[in-house]
Amino acid sequence: MRREAGGAATGGGERRFVTAVRLSDELRKRLHALLANDRCDGDRLMTRLRELRNSEGIRACSAALGMLAHLEIPEVQAERLLVDLLRHRSEVTRALGRDPGLRVAAIDYLSNVNKLLANPAVVESAELERTERSAVTDSLTRLYNRRHFGRALALEVRRSHRYSLQLSLLMLDLDAFKRLNDRHGHLFGDLVLQRVGQELRRAVRDADSPCRYGGEEFAVILPETDRLGGLAVAERIRERIHRSFVERSVGGKHVEVTLSGGIASYPVDGEEAQALIARADQALYLAKRLGKNRVSLYHSERRGAIRYPAKSTARASLRMPSEEAVSEVRPLNLSRAGALLDLEEDLGPAASFELEFRGRDMAGRPRTWLTAVRVVRVERGGARADRCRVAVAFESPLPDECLFQQVHRTSALRAVQGGRG
C-alpha cells in the first residue's frame, strides 16, 4: 500500500496504479488536507467525500483510496471499501483501547483482512511523490511520458469497455519541425516543444492525458469523448498552438508553428489500445498528405469523410447559377466534403450550385459560409413524392466552425469554445 501525508507503504504484490482519477491541483490539495488528519472521524470523512463527489463531479472515494493506498477502485466499490476500512479501524480501536489511526488501520485491513495488498513497505511520502512524478513525466515538456501513455491508454480502454463509454485518441505531430531545428538549432527547438507542452496542458480537461509520444509527436487520451467531440478538441488545440506562436515570440524569435493531427475512437475504430494507436497514426498521415496544419478522423468507409446527422433546425440557402431566386433546403447529414439534402427541386445529376449556411463565429457574431457544390446522386420516389434527396460534394472543405453548428451534436461546438459535454 502507498500512503500520503507523513508516510507511505507500497505493495510488493500485484500493483494497480490510479490513473483514471485525475484532479486539479486545488482538488488534490483539498483531498490531501482531508486525509492529513490521521485521527479524523470516520463519519465526517465519508460525509466530506460524498459532498466533494456531488459538488465537484469527481470520483472522490476512488481518489481518496488512490492517495491513501494507490489502488485503482471504481467509485461505488471504493466507497464500500472505505466504509469497511473505517469499520475495521473502530474494531481495532476497541480491541487495543486506543485509536491506531487511519493509515495503520488501512495497512492492516488491506494487507491482512481484505488482502488487496501484499508485503507493504513504508516509504516517505514526499520522496514517493517526487519519484512517481518523475517516473511518468517528460522532463522537457512536463507532459506525461510514453511509459505513462501506454499504461493510461490500456486502462481507459478497459474502463470504456466495462462501462460502455466512448473514448478518443488524438495523435499530433508538429509540421516541418526538423527544418525549424536545422535553421535555429536544437536549443531553440526545445523552447518550441516546451511552449507546445504548455499550451497543450492548458487546452485539455483534468480528466484527459496529454503525453509526449516521442520527438515532436504528442498524444492526448480523451476519456468519455466520441469522434466528433475529439475532432472539436483537436481543432481547439491546433488553433491555440498556432495562435500562441503568432502572438508571442520564442527565444526572441517569431516563428510560425503548425501541427497536424489524427483521431481514432473506441469502439468504432478499434477495441484494443494498439489498434487505436495504429488508426490514429493513419489519420495523422492522411492529414499530412492533405497539406498539413489540419486534423483528420480515421475511418474505414469508402467515402472521403465521415458524415454526421444534421440538427433538425439546420437549414441552408440554395443558389442556382444565373438565377436570383433562392430556395431553402434541409441538410439530412453533413461532412467536411459533402452533404445529403432534402429539397423539392428536381435537380439533374450533373447540376452545380451554391449553398449558403448561416451561423455564428467563435466570438458569437452572425456570419455565413458559402460553398460551391455539385450533385453526385439524386434519390426520388421516397415517402413524399413531392421531395427528393440529393447527395452533393463540396468544391472545397466545409469549415469545421460551420460543420459543428449544423450537425446534431451541439456539444461539439461547446468543445471548440472551451468545454466538452
Among the listed residues 199, 216, 224, 235, the single catalytic one is: 216
* DSSP result, 348-379: -TT-EEEEEEEEE-TTS-EEEEEEEEEEEEEE
76 residue type, one letter: V
Element spanning 287, H or E:
helix 273-289
The one-character DSSP state at 38 is T
Grid coordinates given for 128 = 514517493
Nearest CA among 355, 346, 265, 269 for reference residue 310 = 355
CA 406 – CA 219 distance, rounded (Å): 28
Active site residue 216: yes
Which are the contacts of 329, defined by CB distance < 8 A and separation ≥ 6?
Answer: 315, 316, 317, 318, 341, 342, 343, 355
DSSP string of 53-91?
Answer: HHHH-S-HHHHHHHHHH-----HHHHHHHHHHHHHHHHH
Strands 388-394 and 8-10, bridge-based pairing: unpaired
Q: Where in the sequence numbering do the catalytic residues fall?
A: 216
